Amino acid sequence: MRRLEITAADPTMPYARRALLWIEGGLNKFFGHDLNPFYYLGALGFYLFWIVLVSGTYIYAFYKTGIELSYPSVEYITHEQWYLGGVMRSLHRYASDALILVMALHMLREYILGRFRGARWFAWVTGVLLIWPIYAAGINGYWMVWDTLAQYTTVTTVEWLDWLPIFSESLSRSFITQEVLNDRFFTLISFAHVTIPLFILFLLWVHIMRISNPVVNPKKILAVGMLLTLVVLALVKPVLSQGAADMSIEPRNLEIDWFYLFIYPLLGVWSAGQVWAFVIGLSLLLVVLPWLPSRFKQIPVAQVNLADCSGCRLCVADCPYEAVVMRPRSDGMHFQEEAVVVADRCVSCGICTGACPSSNPFRSEDNYVSGIEMPSLQLSSLRAAMMSDMARLKGDARVMVFGCDNAANIEDLRSENVCVLSLPCIAMLPPSFVEYALHERKVDGVFITGCRDGDCYHRLGVQWTTKRVLAEREPRLRGRADRTRIRQFWAASADSRELFSEVESFRSSLLDLAGHHATKNNAEK
């Protein structure tokens, strides 16, 4: 039986996930698993933020603050210094738009994949909180140009704010009328445009503070490709102002940036109160989403067994969510430290169990335990299930398949020649289990599968498993294991057909290997 983590209760979710995997599968064929942009949406968001910051800093160096100075200074940057300043302005705009697109795709993808509930609520909520300052900085940036679009958005924003019962008098009459508008307003928005990104940077740090080994930089080729695309777009279609603002004339025929300013046309259709209800309601819905009812429940979190914990720190190093920490020993043993599970950070992936050196199935105890285990998936039970399943195999090229609950359903592979064991994450598999399955030819080969390469549901599971099998990371698969009888293939639920073909190919290679050994033995005789 596959053990599912908590996922969204939305009945359309399976269809959405299927569509997402299909799209990502197509991108994999074009970009390859290593450069699929959908696998780096979070990192691309960081990267675009830095592009916005650097290009904005350059523009700000030539920007002049003042009611009579702002628009001419932007025009100078755009036209007189088009070869660099103009490009920087366009780059600033397009990178800002791309940031919104990447942010929206990142949130939608995490929602579809169910990566927002349980212990993951913190990253989700802090990500939602980033939306407001990012939009505030973007809209504020349009005001600094002080063209007709800036005039329209400024007046509309102030009128929208006037609906809130928090101001003693109308802002639109006391702040931005032709009579009272002065340089103080531009000093204020200029200051805001500098300080808001600093707050965004702080929130970005908070967003990833509970994540171990966060990916904040996309692959170099992907980063260069993104930058070149934005530069080409800046050269082909440079960003231009829409005429100097004139408070005595109502702006018309404006070109709206739908990434940042989509709310403004809505204010022309709905009342200010209705738009506030929409914006605040949507924000609150996104914030509470992790706690809405769900069809599935998370399995119990990991548990430390002190008698078998040596304080080696491997579980701490491998946990993707910083859910395992080290503290001074509490049981009086000679080890100095012990592992402790932070329950509200644990997502029950089991990666810590796979990292524990005491998760060794060769141990002679009838009911052996590991230093850290999943209470509902104890290793003694997994070993017993694996042994029972391997004992029923018949014929040649018998294969033990280890898989992941969040990837392709390996139950479909079960046959008289193939037995399976699915885990919450493939990195829950101790490398010694692979050696144990091959020991004394209990099976002829071991097949390891899990989420698509570069897109592990638990972020690091595929990476850690690969390194352990290659003996590049502790606990490692020992050299005495015959690696010609081990194969890895990473497949999502949309790749079931490819997975089946790969298993059959592996079985064929095992038959060829058996024939080769038989021929060699006969020749030696």
Q: Which residue spans within 34-177 are E strands per DSSP?
A: none
Distance, in Å, from the CA atom of 223 to the CA atom of 242, rounded to the nearest integer, reads: 31
- Co-location of 128 and 200 in the same domain: yes
The average pLDDT across 245-254 equals 87
pLDDT score for 299: 84
Q: Specify if 297 maps to a domain.
A: no
- Co-location of 309 and 386 in the same domain: yes
- Co-location of 285 and 328 in the same domain: no
Distance, in Å, from the CA atom of 38 to the CA atom of 55, rounded to the nearest integer, reads: 25
168 band by pLDDT with thresholds 50, 70 and 90:
low
- Co-location of 275 and 381 in the same domain: no
Answer yes or no: are the C-beta atoms of 352 and 498 closer than 8 Å. Answer: no
Distance, in Å, from the CA atom of 96 to the CA atom of 416, rounded to the nearest integer, reads: 56
Distance, in Å, from the CA atom of 213 to the CA atom of 223, rounded to the nearest integer, reads: 19
Q: What is the DSSP letter of 374?
A: B
pLDDT score for 66: 87
Distance, in Å, from the CA atom of 102 to the CA atom of 97, rounded to the nearest integer, reads: 9
Structure tokens at 152: 């329209």
Q: Specify if 2 maps to a domain.
A: no
3-state secondary structure 467-479: HHHCCCCCCCCCC
Which of 233, 256, 291 marks a domain boundary? 291
pLDDT score for 8: 41
Q: Specify if 37 maps to a domain.
A: yes
Distance, in Å, from the CA atom of 473 to the CA atom of 313, rounded to the nearest integer, reads: 13
The proportion of the chain whose per-residue pLDDT surpasses 90, expressed as a percent, equals: 75
- Co-location of 53 and 152 in the same domain: yes
- Co-location of 239 and 126 in the same domain: yes
- Co-location of 253 and 351 in the same domain: no
Answer yes or no: are the C-beta atoms of 519 and 435 closer than 8 Å. Answer: no
Find the Cα–Cα–Cα–Cα dihedral 348, 354, 356, 358, rounded to 10°: 120
Q: Specify if 153 maps to a domain.
A: yes
Structure tokens at 464: 């850690």
Cα–chain-centroid distance for residue 156? 36
Amino acid at the residue 278:
F
Q: Which domain holds residue 391?
A: 303-524
Amino acid at the residue 19:
A
Distance, in Å, from the CA atom of 337 to the CA atom of 328, rounded to the nearest integer, reads: 5
Tens of pLDDT, residues 251-290: 888 999 999 999 999 998 999 999 999 999 999 999 999 9
- Cβ neighbour number for residue 426 with a 10 Å cutoff: 31
Distance, in Å, from the CA atom of 195 to the CA atom of 175, rounded to the nearest integer, reads: 21
| Close Cβ partners of 439 (under 8 Å, ≥ 6 residues apart) | 362
Which of 291, 318, 333 marks a domain boundary? 291
- Co-location of 220 and 185 in the same domain: yes
Find the Cα–Cα–Cα–Cα dihedral 372, 375, 379, 380, rounded to 10°: 120
Q: Specify if 307 maps to a domain.
A: yes
Q: Specify if 298 maps to a domain.
A: no
- Co-location of 323 and 456 in the same domain: yes
The average pLDDT across 476-485 equals 91
Please choose, from the candidates 443, 455, 452, the residue with its C-alpha nearest in 3D space to the C-alpha of residue 514.
443
pLDDT, mean over the chain = 90
- Co-location of 317 and 432 in the same domain: yes
Q: Are strands 372-373 and 337-341 parallel, antiparallel or unpaired?
A: unpaired
- Co-location of 53 and 122 in the same domain: yes
The average pLDDT across 487-496 equals 94
Which of 264, 291, 318 marks a domain boundary? 291
- Co-location of 287 and 309 in the same domain: no
Q: What is the pTM of this model?
A: 0.90
Tens of pLDDT, residues 187-239: 889 999 999 999 999 999 999 999 988 999 999 999 999 999 999 999 999 99
Residue 193 sits in a domain whose CATH number is 1.20.810.10
Tens of pLDDT, residues 287-323: 999 999 877 677 899 999 998 999 999 999 999 999 9
Q: Specify if 7 maps to a domain.
A: no
Instruction: Look at the chain and report how many structural domains it folds into.
Output: 2
| Close Cβ partners of 424 (under 8 Å, ≥ 6 residues apart) | 3, 5, 299, 348, 349, 350, 374, 377, 404, 405, 406, 458
Answer yes or no: are the C-beta atoms of 70 and 146 closer than 8 Å. Answer: yes
- Cβ neighbour number for residue 343 with a 10 Å cutoff: 12
First to last CA, the chain: 47
Q: Specify if 517 maps to a domain.
A: yes
